[in-house]
Amino acid sequence: MSGSELAVGDEVVVDVGPVAHGGHCIARHEGRVLFVRHTLPGERVRARITEGGAGDRFLRADAVAVEGAAPGRVSAPCPYAGPGRCGGCDFQHADLATQRDLKTAVVREQFARLARLDVDVTVEPVPGDADGLRWRTRTEFAVDADGRPGMRLHRSHAILPVDDCLIAAPPVAAALSGRYAGCSAIDVVAPSVGGAVVVELPLVPGKSVPSVVESVRSARLDREFTVSARGFWQVHPGAASAFVDAALDVLDPRPGETALDLYSGVGVFTAALAQAVGERGRVVAVEADEEASTHAKANLTAYPWTVPVRARVDDFFGVARPKRRGPGPRRAGKPAARHPLAPPSADLVLLDPPRTGAGREVLVAVAALRPRAIAYVACDPAALARDTTYLRELGYELSDLRAFDAFPMTHHVECVAGFATVV
């Protein structure tokens, strides 16, 4: 069959090339590019087209039969993993070492392509992770029309009811035995302190979401934090501690310094920075979410030299908001007035933005503070690599890069990067 005739449901045998960002590998058939899931580089597989057709730049496909397996392939430990099934995990068919090799290749490729930098990084396990299973302490499960919890199929709204999830921590997986009539989803949290909490969605108007207590037990910080059961907290129990230590190793804060913690959530990095700079120092923490910001204020009372500010980071600096994505007219938001608590300079800046990254405008404002070091915690290596380009244009060089396997069995990877001024 010629490449231009390929359509959903067709099957072709392909030789699989390198891994690409997003949990799939690249293959070619008669000049067409295929993004194939459930396969590994170097394999020969029968690929079934799942999305795309004539005129599309690429097609998506699932490997439905393996004709030549690569070393590193294993049978998926989870019975719900595989072509056409649960869309939650991408790499159940690879052993952990191979999963980390795939993520290492993705981080290196993103930096080479988007930042034009060769980076010598190797994805590390999060301390305490033994086999990549039973780690996830926060999960949203979809609920079907019969009240059964489950997972959505890959790139679909269809729900596959499941009675276990092998990457979920046991108290999270236990919620799967319940029935949730009338709910569209459940958010399940197994916090560091106390029992599991199940939040039924949609939220009942007027009913408040419970808070939970999470802890960081690391070389740099030993503290508990109150956070909304639906608020942001790292989902791997070892992740927050690992990232705090990695980010502070990059910044190496000194007593008396001024630091900014941007996208600060409930104040995890703020507390670690506050402890390091001491009471002669100052840490300004900027977070947009009202609930997280309220929790940050309470979590940081032990450090009166911290200044939690509820604001969008772009508004805090008085720079334009990013262009609106999606359909409709593209417009940049009108810049707000620079926040009175935005300092004219800072010794250190830590950024931990959402998946979209910080973006150029924010980084220009960060560089204008002339910090001696910047730490950037990133859940998307593509956004980090793009923002690295901006920082290099602004006079900062990548000085450190670590990558963590904080989401085993999935394609996700967390990076902690350091930047310093070019002397």
Ligand X SMILES: C[S@@+](CC[C@H](N)C(=O)[O-])C[C@H]1O[C@@H](n2cnc3c(N)ncnc32)[C@H](O)[C@@H]1O
- Does position 263 interact with ligand X (CB under 6 A)? The reply is yes
243 or 419: whose CB is closer to ligand X? 243
In the complex, the smallest distance separating the C-beta of residue 270 from ligand X, rounded to whole angstroms, is 8
Measured CA to CA, the distance from residue 162 to residue 149 in angstroms comes to 7
- Does position 366 interact with ligand X (CB under 6 A)? The reply is no
- Does position 288 interact with ligand X (CB under 6 A)? The reply is yes
347 or 361: whose CB is closer to ligand X? 361
In the complex, the smallest distance separating the C-beta of residue 117 from ligand X, rounded to whole angstroms, is 23
- Does position 291 interact with ligand X (CB under 6 A)? The reply is no
- Residue type at position 335: P
25 or 277: whose CB is closer to ligand X? 277
In the complex, the smallest distance separating the C-beta of residue 233 from ligand X, rounded to whole angstroms, is 6
- Does position 214 interact with ligand X (CB under 6 A)? The reply is no
In the complex, the smallest distance separating the C-beta of residue 336 from ligand X, rounded to whole angstroms, is 11
- Does position 269 interact with ligand X (CB under 6 A)? The reply is yes
- Does position 292 interact with ligand X (CB under 6 A)? The reply is yes
In the complex, the smallest distance separating the C-beta of residue 287 from ligand X, rounded to whole angstroms, is 5
Residues 389-418 that bind ligand X (CB under 6 A): none
Residue from 25, 165, 379, 415 carrying the catalytic annotation: 379
CA separation, residue 62 to residues 6, 37, 66, 255 (Å): 14, 5, 11, 54
- Does position 265 interact with ligand X (CB under 6 A)? The reply is yes
CA–CA–CA angle 135, 140, 143 (5° rounding): 130
**From 139, 264, 275, 388, residue interacting with ligand X (rule: CB under 6 A):** 264
Is 258:373 a contact under the CB 8 Å cutoff?
A: no
Please identify, among the stretches 147-155, 176-184, 216-224, 285-293, the one whose residues bind ligand X according to the rule CB under 6 A. 285-293
Query: Mask of contacts with ligand X, 331-360, x by CB under 6 A?
Result: ---------------------x-x------
233 or 419: whose CB is closer to ligand X? 233
Q: Which candidate, 18, 123, 104, 112, places its Cα nearest to that of 386? A: 112
188: β partners: 139, 198
- SS3 for the chain, per residue? CCHHHCCCCCEEEEEEEEEECCCEEEEEECCEEEEEECCCCCCEEEEEEEECCCCCCEEEEEEEEEEECCCCECCCCCCCCCCCCECCCCCCCECHHHHHHHHHHHHHHHHHHHHCCCCCCCEEECCCCCCCCCCECEEEEEECCCCCEEEEECCCCCEEECCCCCCECHHHHHHHHCCCCCCCEEEEECCCECCCEEEEECCCCCCCCCEEEEEEECCCCEEEEEEECCCCCCCCCCHHHHHHHHHHHHHCCCCCCEEEEECCCCCHHHHHHHHHHCCCCEEEEEECCHHHHHHHHHHCCCCCCEEEEECCHHHHHCCCCCCCCCCCCCCCCCCCCCCCCCCCCCCEEEECCCCCCCCHHHHHHHHHCCCCEEEEEECCHHHHHHHHHHHHHCCEEEEEEEEEECCCCCCCCEEEEEEEECC
135 or 233: whose CB is closer to ligand X? 233
- Residue type at position 396: Y
109 or 380: whose CB is closer to ligand X? 380
Residues in Cβ contact with 205 at an 8 Å cutoff, skipping those fewer than 6 apart: none
Please identify, among the stretches 20-28, 166-174, 310-318, 388-396, the one whose residues bind ligand X according to the rule CB under 6 A. 310-318
- Does position 289 interact with ligand X (CB under 6 A)? The reply is yes
- Does position 232 interact with ligand X (CB under 6 A)? The reply is yes
In the complex, the smallest distance separating the C-beta of residue 125 from ligand X, rounded to whole angstroms, is 19
The residue whose Cβ lies closest to ligand X is 265
- How many binding residues for ligand X (CB under 6 A)? 17
- Does position 371 interact with ligand X (CB under 6 A)? The reply is no
- Does position 287 interact with ligand X (CB under 6 A)? The reply is yes
262 or 391: whose CB is closer to ligand X? 262
In the complex, the smallest distance separating the C-beta of residue 86 from ligand X, rounded to whole angstroms, is 24
**From 136, 295, 312, 360, residue interacting with ligand X (rule: CB under 6 A):** 312
Residues in Cβ contact with 97 at an 8 Å cutoff, skipping those fewer than 6 apart: 72
Is 379 one of the annotated active-site residues of the chain? yes
12 or 247: whose CB is closer to ligand X? 247
Please identify, among the stretches 22-30, 71-79, 306-314, 396-404, the one whose residues bind ligand X according to the rule CB under 6 A. 306-314
| Active site (catalytic) residues | 379
In the complex, the residues that contact ligand X under the rule CB under 6 A are 232-233, 263-265, 268-269, 286-289, 292, 312-314, 352, 354
